Amino acid sequence: MKNIDWKHLPFQYSKTDYNVRSYFQDGKWGELEVSQSEYVEIHMASTCLHYGQEIFEGLKAYKGKDEKIRLFRVDENAKRMRRSAKGILMPDIPEDLFIEAVHKAVTLNKEYIPPYGTGATLYIRPLYIGVGAEVGVKPTKKALFLIFVTPVGPYFRDGFNPVDIMICRDYDRAAPLGTGTYKVGGNYAASLASLQAAHDNGFATTLYLDAREKKYIDEAGPANFFGIKGNTYVTPESTSILPSITNMSLMQIAKDMGMKVERRKIPIEELEEFSEVGACGTAAVITPIRKIVDPDKNKFYNYTTDNKPGPVSTKLYNTITAIQFGDEPDKHNWITMID
């Protein structure tokens, strides 16, 4: 095990020993190669550099009390990468290649998996880029699939503690029929200016509204949004948000807890009616929201008076992390062990 200050890890890149790569060319996938280089050599006319043919994924490996290593719903990340590839006309990427590559990347870097109880995990970043040389706007025929891993702490600095977020009407992250539902780099480029505006004003992230009407909640920075209303878990239905695997799992956990689940449009005014709201995702896990500020309307919505996460968010958080770390039975078959 590496000598790392596991308890104080930021959500930041740090070097590990190996990454794995496979090229698609001449209509087929090559061998999965192991590399020790942190760099990729690609053609200067690669479609990823000019026309945004770039897809990524994010998942984590968790070390349990039993020292065993678990992956959470890796098959869903494999499916989503495939779906994103279809969405921006990249060559199809087999789910079994994705899963094999995740296992290999984690196994090769086992010494970097944070110990149980530190709150840290090994973040797995699959990347899929068009590397065929094209000057005209057209899909690549050649592509590189790569996975690196890096140990991380919580995405939002405070971990499972409430943060404040800001509604920003000056920018859109994604168009209603654009690429918001795919995990492509361009969405994140489009989000940077509003994120900067949020940070400059002391907020953890931005709450995006639907781009067409600015009436409904879309998502919360690099995470989906949910609200709790009575015994109901409510989360946005939208064509411009990423279908979050964490959110999908929380919807199931909420049902298991006897809650009702609604996936539908959430008008901004409904923010008044939630007892708790949160952001959820692989990196964010569940990040409770203390306050949502709407500067254009001179309004704010407050969710805690004692600065603590609400009871439902706490239960959801405890349940999902207990499943991920192997402290609770995996009754939905979400876990894959790494041996």
Q: How far is the CB of 287 from ligand COI (least distance, A)?
A: 11
Q: How far is the CB of 58 from ligand COI (least distance, A)?
A: 2
- Which residue intervals of 174-302 are DSSP H helices? 185-200, 245-256
Binding site partner of 47, from ligand COI, ligand PLP, none, Cβ cut-off 5-8 A by kind = none
Q: CB 158 → ligand PLP: shortest distance, Å?
A: 18
Q: Closest separation between CB of residue 78 and ligand PLP, Å? A: 12
Stretch that binds ligand COI, among 44-52, 279-287, 293-301, 317-325 (CB under 6 A): 279-287
58 binds ligand COI (CB under 6 A): yes
Which residues, 155 to 194, sit near ligand COI by CB under 6 A?
A: 155
Binding site for ligand PLP (CB under 6 A): 58, 219, 222-224, 242, 244-247, 281-282
Q: Is 231 helix (H, G, I), strand (E, B) or coil?
A: coil
Pairing type for strands 59-63 and 121-130 reads: antiparallel
Token readout for 15 is 């070097």
State the Cα–Cα distance between residues 252 and 258, nearest whole angstrom. Answer: 10
Q: Out of 283, 289, 293, 312, point to the residue binding ligand COI (CB under 6 A).
A: 283
- Residue 39, Cα to own-chain centre: how many angstroms? 23
Query: Phi first, then psi: what are they for 310, rounded to 5°?
Result: -70, 165
Nearest residue to the partner ligand PLP, using Cβ:
281
In the complex with ligand PLP, which residue's Cβ is closer, 91 or 222? Answer: 222
Count CB-CB contacts under 10 A for residue 87. 15
# chain residues binding ligand COI, by CB under 6 A: 6
Give the CA distances from residue 79 to residues 75, 96, 245, 255, 323, in Å, rounded to whole numbers and listed in that order. Answer: 6, 10, 11, 23, 21
Task: Give the single-character DSSP code of 91.
Answer: P
Provide the 8-state DSSP code for 257.
Answer: T
Q: Does 222 bind ligand COI (CB under 6 A)?
A: yes
Is 282 an interacting residue with respect to ligand COI (CB under 6 A)? yes
